[in-house]
Chain A
Amino acid sequence: MAERQNVRLLLFVADGEPRTFAAIQNIGRALESFHERAFLLEIVNVFDEPERAMAERVLVTPTLLAPESARRLVGDLSESSMVNYFLQSLR
């Protein structure tokens, strides 16, 4: 288990939406408290990159996507237990 790779995460948000700010804060908090492994988080503004939203079929925002496992979590990530469970399950 020594050469664990960082798990890539994409957070699709709509710039200017109140939930965007909340989601970014919520995922930051969750990743900080999560010590078991490292994540690489990229934030995608759907209005800047609609093609990526289209390619990943992201119609609702915020959407947290783990592209390698094609799993996703939608919403402002305010339910921390759901977020932690999601992060844990990415193995």
Chain B
Amino acid sequence: MKKAASGIAGLDQVLHGGFPAGRTTVVIGSPGCGKTVLAMQFLTNGAVEFGEPGLMISFEESAAALKSNFSGMSFPFGEIVDKSVHLVDGRLPADTVQAGSFDLGGLIAIASSLIAKHDIQRIAIDGIDALFALSGPGAHRRRELQRLLDWLTESRLTGVFTIKGIEDEGGVAGHFGLAEYIADGVIRLRTTLIGELSRRTVSVLKMRGAGFEAGEHPYLISDAGIRVLHTPRRTEMAAEVLSERLSTGVERLDRMLVGGYRKGTTTLISGLPGTSKTSLGSAFLNAGCRAGERCLFIGFDEPAEQMLFDVRSIGLDLEQWLRSGLLCAESFTTGGAIGDEHYLRIESLIDSHAPTRVVIDPITALEKSGGQEIAGIVSERLVGLMKARGITAVFTAVSDSHLGEMEATPMRVSTIADTWIFLSFANRGGERNRTLTIIKSRGTSHSNQMREMLLSVGGIDLADVYSAGGEVLLGTARMEYEQRQMLALGAEEERLVRELEAIDAESEDVKRQLRSAERNLERLTERRSSLIARASAIGGVHDRDAALVAERRRVDPVS
């Protein structure tokens, strides 16, 4: 089935592409739930994005009121009204008296003439229940509604037909329940109370011949119109595992994580208040901005400027990135807003700023916006959103000290986050020292060791911790240990030096003895030589005499 996209973020995904083209979809909802906004966005987007001129017939507001209400919206209604979106005031004048049954001939005649004149392709009929509320039996109302829908179908226009429903037990259509039987498609907008907060959701009650996402989808109304919360499904997610690493902004932490956070993954940094979660998140953003990446910081209940100012104490100048436009920092108030709204605002910021790194600080603040259950769902959706957009994200989470630190797992994020870093304090010897432990990191042969986290104007650093007698040494204890280690090394060195000196001295001795022995040997060799010389001289005479004697005595030659 051909679809006519509404151009409303999230709604088109829920409707698998948009409203069925050439058909009429009934939108039912209680007063103030945004039916008119939805209809107007459908028309405006149709005209602006798809070149389909639209017609709005309103039974609730005058054309002037509509213009003034919608010209302030950030979608471009003001620019196209009366040009490609036309308004018809369908309200009955206040002093109208009814005398008998009526039909909608005037409406159809007016609409037909405008459709022909302006090549209208999308039509919205807003709040027709106001007309039927006049009186008339149910059968009559039903007949007239049916006729109107038939006419719309024949006109081949894509229509949105809004009807005010009274919220009852079933939440459906109230006094106008018949609409859902007649129309091909019915969408319901509704508001439910969670505590004192109202939660808006949209659901598709039926859609003949067209697929849709079932269930209640939260939505938000802002000056940008309606935005429906729709988590990309798994198939839409960028599934490839990226091996690229992004610096955490802390050199030692990068080394512990074999290069940094994996690109496109979400890291959870949890810990008690004051364990420097924000500092670690800020370092990540600072590293990103320095590499020329676009970054987004989302805070809660505290001005974003405050956070930017605070991290100056650890040498991070994030304000420069804010000025250069690489960094976008926003803060939301949790009170009075439901978690879904925060999701949609974050999604909308991601759309407009297009960051590659996002920090949400702290994600646990969502619990104040509708309770743990909604916070859990919203957090999961946020992780999904970051993955779908290929964003590397850091969510911080405040642990509750009443439950053991570790047990206070920040909602469900700890299970779906790819990396979980746990920050804590170690109390020993009257000191509170910050510690950092990597609890898990998917696809990384990370260091399991606890590190001491050191904050200074020079930034964040991590120090090795030592185990001594089953105890982990931190702070002063760590330094003392290191000093003792140094002293021990000193003594060892001294001993070695002394031994070397002794060996050198002995070697000299031996060399001296060697030289003296050599001289002795030399003298002996010389003495011997001289003795041999003398002996030869004597022996030479004797030999000569012996030869003479032998000749005289005619002796046989000596062999």
Contacts and interface: CB of A to CB of B under 8 A. Distances in A.
Interface of A: 12-14, 17, 19-20, 22-23, 26, 46-47, 50-51, 53-54, 57-64, 70-79, 82-83, 86
A13 B99 contact: no
A14 B269 CA distance: 70
Interface of B: 57, 88-93, 95-110, 112-114, 131, 134
B110 A59 contact: yes
Contact of B97 (A12, A23, A74): A74
15 contacts: A14-B103, A19-B103, A46-B105, A47-B105, A47-B109, A60-B105, A61-B103, A61-B105, A63-B102, A70-B95, A71-B95, A73-B98, A74-B96, A74-B98, A75-B100
Contact of A60 (B88, B92, B97, B113): B92
Contact of A46 (B91, B96, B99, B106): B106
Query: Which of A12, A50, A73, A86: most chain B CB closer than 10 A?
Result: A50
A12 B93 CA distance: 15
Contact of A59 (B97, B98, B100, B131): B131
A54 B113 contact: yes
B161 to A, nearest CB: 15
B110 A17 contact: no
B99 A77 contact: yes
Contacts, number: 112
Contact of B110 (A54, A73, A74): A54
A60 B112 contact: no
Given A46-B110, A60-B92, A76 B98 contact: no
A41 to B, nearest CB: 16
B98 to A, nearest CB: 5
Contact of A61 (B57, B93, B106, B112): B106
A78 B100 contact: yes
Nearest to B108: A14
Given A54-B110, A70-B95, 13 more contacts: A14-B103, A14-B106, A50-B112, A57-B89, A59-B92, A60-B92, A60-B103, A62-B105, A64-B99, A74-B92, A74-B98, A75-B101, A82-B100
A82 B106 contact: no
Contacts of B113: 50-51, 54
B100 A72 contact: no
A50 to B, nearest CB: 4
A17 B105 contact: yes
A53 to B, nearest CB: 5
A44 to B, nearest CB: 10
Contacts of B92: 59-60, 74
Contacts of A59: 57, 88, 90, 92, 104, 106-107, 110, 131
Contacts of A62: 102, 105
**Majority SS at the chain B contact face:** mixed
A76 B91 contact: no
A19 B101 contact: yes
Contacts of A54: 88, 110, 113-114
A60 B107 contact: yes
Given A46-B110, A54-B88, A72-B95, A77 B105 contact: no
Contacts of B112: 47, 50
A52 to B, nearest CB: 10
A86 B96 CA distance: 11
A54 to B, nearest CB: 5
Nearest to A78: B100
A73 B96 CA distance: 6
Closest 6 CB pairs of A and B: A14-B105, A75-B100, A61-B105, A50-B113, A46-B109, A82-B99
Contact of B106 (A53, A73, A77): A53
B307 to A, nearest CB: 55
Given A14-B109, A57-B89, A59-B107, A19 B99 contact: no
A76 to B, nearest CB: 4
A77 B104 CA distance: 15
Nearest to B57: A59
A16 B532 CA distance: 161
A33 to B, nearest CB: 15
A61 B110 contact: no
Contacts of A73: 96-99
A47 to B, nearest CB: 5
Contacts of B97: 71-74, 82, 86
Contacts of A20: 105
A57 B105 contact: no
A25 to B, nearest CB: 12
Contacts of A12: 106
Nearest to A49: B109
Given A59-B131, A60-B92, A50 B99 contact: no
B99 A61 contact: no
Nearest to A89: B97
Contacts of A77: 99-100
Query: Which of B95, B101, B113, B131: most chain A CB closer than 10 A?
Result: B101
Query: Which of A47, A71, A82: most chain B CB closer than 10 A?
Result: A47
A46 B96 CA distance: 18
B102 A19 contact: yes
